[in-house]
Amino acid sequence: MEVEVSARIQCPFCGQRFDLVVDTSARSQRFSTECEICCHPFDVVADCEPGEVVALEVYSE
Say whether 36 sits in a helix, a strand or coil.
coil
pLDDT in single tens digits along all 61 residues of the chain: 789 999 999 999 999 999 999 999 999 999 999 999 999 999 999 999 999 999 999 999 7
- pLDDT of amino acid 28: 95
- Whether residue 60 contacts residue 45, with contact meaning beta carbons closer than 8 Å, is answered with no
Q: Please state, in angstroms and as integers, the Cα–Cα distance from residue 54 to each residue in 31, 44, 46, 60, following that order.
A: 16, 13, 8, 21
- Whether residue 34 contacts residue 41, with contact meaning beta carbons closer than 8 Å, is answered with yes
- pLDDT of amino acid 2: 86
Q: Please state, in angstroms and as integers, the Cα–Cα distance from residue 11 to each residue in 31, 35, 49, 50, following that order.
A: 14, 6, 24, 25
